[in-house]
Amino acid sequence: MLKTAAVSFTLSLFALAAQAATPPALYTSAQASAGAAVFAQNCAVCHGAALGGGGGPALVGAGFTQAGTTIGSVFSVLAQQMPATNPGGLSQSQYEDLMAYILQKNGYPAGSTPISYGKAMTDSTPFISQAK
Helix, strand, coil percent content, the chain, rounded in steps of 5: 50, 0, 45
Binding mask 91-120 for ligand HEC (x = CB under 6 A): -------x----------------------
The alpha carbon of residue 32 and the mean position of all alpha carbons in its chain are separated, in whole angstroms, by 10
Q: Does 42 bind ligand HEC (CB under 6 A)?
A: yes
Quote the CA–CA distance of 35 and 129 in Å, as a whole number: 18
Q: Mask: binding to ligand HEC, 59-78, rule CB under 6 A, as x and -? A: x----x---------x--xx
Site for ligand HEC contains 50 (CB under 6 A): no
84-96 burial, b if ≥16 CB within 10 A, otherwise e? eeeeeebeeebbb
Q: Based on the shown chain and the rule CB under 6 A, indicate whether residue 46 belongs to the binding site for ligand HEC.
A: yes
Footprint of ligand HEC on this chain (CB under 6 A)? 42-43, 45-47, 55-57, 59, 64, 74, 77-78, 81-85, 98
